[in-house]
Amino acid sequence: MNTSQRLENALSKLYNAFHNNTLNPECCLQCAVGNICDNKDSWKHFSDVHGSLELNYVGLVHQRLGRSVNGYTPQQLLEIEATFLKGCGFSVPLNRKGTKPKNPTSKETLFKGLCAVVEYLCVLDNIEIVMDYTKLFETEDQLKMSFTS
């Protein structure tokens, strides 16, 4: 399967963040997009609210100028983040009254969010989801369970 360089880079960063326990959906530096953007928070200035799909003035300017961060446009970054948050069980955009998973940084919660993101990243690159990337994010406990079942 042919994949783009941006997809390969994003998957590698997400894989490392998941296995190094540096993935946190509530932190703009350690969320899915924060990791894709090299743990920098410049992407958060594209919207006024974490998890929103609406570009603010700064985001619109960057979008219209054709700028991107590691190959992703400002709008795509917002969509990736919203996909991750929804996959983790958050209501978006994030706010105090919205729903939130009991343990936002549990491996199970993060795994669900990452599965949604990987699928969406493949859609963005017009790649069929033929390869099961979920194997990359399995934890040792999940692997043991699949062998004993």
* HEC secondary structure over the chain: CCCCHHHHHHHHHHHHHHHCCCCCCCCCCCCHHHHHCCCCCHHHHHCCCCCCCCCCHHHHHHHHCCCCECCECHHHHHHHHHHHHHHHCCCCCCCCCCCCCCCCCCHHHHHHHHHHHHHHHHHHCCCCCCCCHHHHHCCHHHHHHHHHC
Q: pLDDT at residue 136 above 80?
A: no
| Confidence category of residue 128, pLDDT binned at 50, 70, 90 | confident
Q: Which comes out higher in pLDDT, residue 129 or 98?
A: 98
Instruction: Report the range of poorest mean pLDDT among 23-32, 78-87, 129-138.
Output: 129-138
